[in-house]
Amino acid sequence: MNERILLVEDEDSLREAVKMNLEMEKYEVADAATGTAALRYISNGVFDLIILDVMLPEMNGFDICEKIRLKDKNTPILFLTAKNAGKDRVEGLKRGADDYLVKPFNLEELLLRVKVLVKRSVKNQAKDEPLKIYTFGKNEINFATQKAIGNRGKEVELTIRETELLNFLIIKKGKVVSRQEILNFVWGYKDFPSTRTIDNFILSFRGYFEADPRKPKYFLSVHGVGYKFSDK
Amino acid sequence: MNERILLVEDEDSLREAVKMNLEMEKYEVADAATGTAALRYISNGVFDLIILDVMLPEMNGFDICEKIRLKDKNTPILFLTAKNAGKDRVEGLKRGADDYLVKPFNLEELLLRVKVLVKRSVKNQAKDEPLKIYTFGKNEINFATQKAIGNRGKEVELTIRETELLNFLIIKKGKVVSRQEILNFVWGYKDFPSTRTIDNFILSFRGYFEADPRKPKYFLSVHGVGYKFSDK
DNA sequence: AAATAATTGTCATGAAATTGTAAAAAGAAT
DNA sequence: ATTCTTTTTACAATTTCATGACAATTATTT
């Protein structure tokens, strides 16, 4: 599985050039042009490295850095700055950056530093741990025992299919997943059941976990596509 | 059960030769000569690999790739291109391809890459890749969650058609697209609606994203032709 | 400039497609 | 055989978006 990098740079041509180069090195790259977009990414996903331009519209890189560090002490941050040196560097490191590169920079150099920093990433080491207990709202799912605690603390014994489907939806949380994707992953390669089967499982989940099954909060339908599991 | 490959190539002799070879390797091969046929396959079947010629009549391979990726981030896509290198490769990878082969290619080489890519396919399904968020002005579109943030920070849940149309306009940003093109791409092989339908969607978009819907800045009409999405 | 034609903006409406739901049938497991 | 799980089926409820009418705008002709 590839390492993930978040690239925050407002200048389009530079951003795209860097992104392209990182992708050719087989990193998965998400890019943002503004600080707010960057923060949204960060609150939704996990990265192995964040590359951050100091000079951004709206919000400067230092402030973003600080905000990131409030939530996440680990992901390495690499600063890009146009200024010559000294002051920015100190400021950056003080605010929680890990490394620092002066624009205009040499691409080779960037790639080298990226490599070093990504390796350092803590998450990189602890990433693949299987999820055992997952909680959302007042609900709890224990994948090890296949038991769940749902509405009003009620215990539910989950079946295999239920567990697998829940697992998939949770992995994909926040994202829309099509019925095709669901069938393909949960049912694997044997001949699929009709997609209506999926709806019935969702029906069960809503019964277990939704305070008001008619107005679901976690197990959302996306008309014409499939479903979306939401955490909050 | 054998792995399934979708082969999209307009040149008959090449398509049949490749198909034959893949079948000798025990793959199940579906083949299509046009983009629309390919999309029809994709919308009701699951593949372990899609081999896509860049140069196709009607709709080019890049656009098809993008359309696939809107719904399915996992199935590996292998590009075939006649051009020498560089630009196409970059373009392809940017649009979501996984690998790339220059025509004329060696069959051994093709089979080798196919093998690698197919293996990657099944296991990676649950990969939780970073979200792709597109921003313009103060607006944000998240294709993975089918949510957008528009005027005054208001959240909008997008429907599939809205998502698909936005995707297309954004792919073609800065360029004028005719209604016919839009119908072709977004509505695909189905029987087309009247072009008035498109206007309705544009109307919605302006409502979501334009500060002053009467004086659009992003979703521009081009009288006598169609529409143009502009970034800035 | 005015009149006319063509295109686009806008909105209410309903048909068609999708999803919710529950009960029955089919398949597995004990 | 009995119980539990999964799938199918049928019908109700809901959502989407395609359509058509008319207004507003833009282009073309007189």
**DSSP letter string, A37-84:** HHHHHHHH---SEEEEES--SSS-HHHHHHHHHHH-S-S-EEEEESS-
Cα(A78)–Cα(B158) distance, integer angstroms: 35
Q: Convert the pLDDT of each residue in B172-226 to its tens digit.
A: 999 999 998 899 889 876 567 777 899 999 999 999 999 999 999 999 999 999 9
Nearest to B130 among A20, A24, A30 (CB): A30
Residue B35 confidence (pLDDT): 86
Mutate which of A12, A43, A44, A220 to test chain B, going by most B C-beta atoms within 10 A?
A44
- List chain A residues with CB under 8 Å of B126: 168, 171-172, 185
Residue B86 confidence (pLDDT): 61
Highest mean pLDDT among A202-206, B29-33, B44-48: A202-206
Cα(A187)–Cα(A165) distance, integer angstroms: 9
What pLDDT band is residue A125 in, cutting at 50, 70 and 90?
low
Q: Convert the pLDDT of each residue in B139-170 to its tens digit.
A: 999 999 999 999 888 999 999 999 999 999 99
| Closest residue by Cα to residue B157 from B148, B165, B166 | B148
Percent of chain B with pLDDT over 70: 90
DSSP letter (8 states) at residue B124: G
Average pLDDT for chain B: 86
What pLDDT band is residue A127 in, cutting at 50, 70 and 90?
very low
Structure pTM?
0.76
The total of other beta-carbon atoms located within 10 Å of residue A135's CB is: 11
Contact between A5 and A48 under an 8 Å Cβ cutoff? The reply is yes
Rounded to a whole number of angstroms, the CA Rg of chain B reads 19
The mean per-residue pLDDT over the stretch B54-77 comes to 84
Q: Convert the pLDDT of each residue in A34-91 to its tens digit.
A: 888 888 888 777 788 999 988 877 788 888 888 887 776 678 888 888 765 556 666 6
CB distance from A223 to chain B under 8 Å?
yes
Going from the C-alpha of A132 to that of each of A57, A140, A142, the distances in angstroms are 42, 10, 6
What is the maximum alpha-carbon separation in chain A?
64
Q: Which domains are assigned to chain A?
A: 4-126 (3.40.50.2300), 133-229 (1.10.10.10)
Q: Convert the pLDDT of each residue in B53-63 to its tens digit.
A: 988 877 888 88
Cα(B12)–Cα(B128) distance, integer angstroms: 38
Strand D nucleotides with an atom less than 7 Å from a protein beta carbon: 4-10, 15-21, 26-27
In terms of DSSP bridges, do strands A226-229 and A176-178 run parallel, antiparallel, or are they unpaired?
antiparallel
Edge-to-edge strands of the sheet including B226-229?
B176-178, B226-229, B219-222
What pLDDT band is residue B124 in, cutting at 50, 70 and 90?
low
The total of other beta-carbon atoms located within 10 Å of residue A156's CB is: 19
Residue A128 has pLDDT above 50, yes or no: no
The mean per-residue pLDDT over the stretch B76-92 comes to 75
Answer whether any strand D atom is within 7 A of the Cβ of A145. no
Q: Convert the pLDDT of each residue in A182-210 to its tens digit.
A: 988 888 755 677 779 999 999 999 999 99
What pLDDT band is residue A130 in, cutting at 50, 70 and 90?
low
Cβ–Cβ below 8 Å for B133 and A40: yes
